Amino acid sequence: MNDDRLAIVVAKPRAQDVIDALQEEGVYDADRSVAEHGADAVAIPVTEAPETVAYREVVQQVGQPRLRTLEDHLRERGWTDEELDTAPGSWAVIGSVVLVDIGDAPRPEEVGAALLTMHGEADTVLARGPISGTHREPDVEVLAGEGDTQTVHREHGIAYGLDLAEVMFSPGNKAERKHMGDTVRKGERVLDMFAGIGYFTLPMAAAGAEAIAIERNPTAFQFLLENAMRNGVQDHVQAYRADNRDVLAEGLDSFGEASTVDRIVMGYYDATEPDDEGGYTYLDPAIDALAPGGIIHVHEATPETLVFERPIERIEAAATAQDRTVEVLDTRRVKGYSEGVAHVVVDARLE
C-alpha cells in the first residue's frame, strides 16, 4: 500500500470530529479530498495511520489530489481574475452542510458546486443571509447538493442537532463553546440565559454542571431538548421555554430551583444594553440571580474603539447598583461581528 495515499474510513456523521482530531494529531492530509466510501462512510486522507482516532480500516485512496483552494476550483471553471476577487474567502462545514457568505460573487451555484467538491463529507451548500427577528432566525438559500438543511454537527465530543434554515449556529464560537465545557466544575449550578439549541449548555452539562437553560424560540427549544438526550445529559439540564426576564422576575425558586446559581452565561450580543429607566434589562436580573462569588460570562457586540471598556463599565455599573463588586477574570475577542464591531466576552466574578 502506498503510504502517500492513505485514508481512514469512518462513519459519515463522525467526519468533522475525526478531521478535527486528525489535525490535532498532525496526520490530516489537507492536500486531498474527503471522499465517500460506501453508503454511510467517508475516507479521510491521512499522512499515516492515526494513533488517537478510532476508524474502521485504512485504505489506499485513489484519484487526483484535490485543488487546494476555492480559487483553484473556480479558475478551473473559467472564472476571471476580476470574478475571483469577489469569491468567498471563508466558509464553515456544519455537520453535512457547508455554510458560506456568498457576498457579491457571480454564479453562486458554481461556488456551491466547487465547495461540494472540496468537502466530500458534506451534501448541501447553503448561502447564509442575515439573522433577524426576536427569535434570531436565519435566512439561507440552497446553492448546491441535496438541499437538506437539517444536520448533526459534532465538535469537541458534543453533538448539536439543528436545522440551519430555522436556527442560527455560529462556527466562529467554536473555541468559546469548548471554553465553557473546560471552565465549569462538576456539580456547579449554571444558568444559560439564551440557551438556543444548547450551544453552551451542552458542553457545560457534559462536564458535570447542573444547567438551567432558558430559550424562548420554540424551534430552538425543541432542538435543545433533543440535544440534551442526544448527548446523554438530560438529567443535568432543566430547560424552560420562556423569556428569561419572566423567569428571573418570578425568581428561580418559583420553579423549584435554588434561588441563586454559581455561574451565568449571557450569550446574546445585546445582553448589556441599558433600559429606558437607567438600569439594564438583562444584566440586572442576572446579577440578582448570581450567588456571591459567582462568575458571569457576558458576550457583547462592541465597537472596536470601546472593546472591553464598554462591557466592563456596564457590568460594573449594574453590579454597583446592587452593592456588588466586580473582579474581571478574563477578556476575549471571539471574532469580528461586523465592520468596526467585535464580538467579545468578559468573564467576571461578583462578590
- pLDDT the model gives residue 164: 94
**Ligand-binding site membership of 243 (annotated):** yes
State mean pLDDT over 208-215. 97
Helix (H) or strand (E) holding 176: helix 174-183
pLDDT at 143 over 90: yes
| Ligand-binding site membership of 3 (annotated) | no
pTM to 2 decimal places:
0.82
Whether residue 317 has pLDDT greater than 80: yes
Strand pairing partners for 10? 42
Same domain, 127 and 92: yes
Low-confidence winner among 159-163, 213-217, 273-277, 321-325 (lowest mean pLDDT): 273-277
81 and 230 fall within a common domain: no
Average pLDDT on 251-262 reads: 91
**Structural domain includes residue 155:** no
- Strands 237-240, 210-214: pairing is parallel
Q: Determine if residue 230 is labeled as part of a ligand binding site.
A: no
* 1 pLDDT higher than 50: no
159 assigned to some structural domain: no
Which residue segment(s) compose the domain that 344 sits in?
Answer: 168-350
CA dihedral of residues 90, 94, 100, 101 (deg, nearest 10): -90
pLDDT at 2: 46
pLDDT of residue 9: 94
**Using CB atoms within 10 A of its CB, is residue 143 exposed (0-12), middle (13-18) or buried (19+)?**
buried
- Is 110 inside a domain boundary? yes
Instruction: State the Cα angle at 191 between 184 and 231, rounded to 5°.
Output: 65
- Identify whether 83 is part of a domain: yes
**For position 26, which CATH number holds?**
3.30.70
Name the domain count of the chain: 3
Is residue 323 a known part of a binding site? no
User: Does the annotation list 324 as a binding residue?
Assistant: no
Helix (H, G, I), strand (E, B) or coil at 341: strand
> What pLDDT was estimated at residue 39?
84
What pLDDT digit, counting tens, does each position of 91-125 carry? 999 999 999 999 999 999 999 999 998 888 899 99
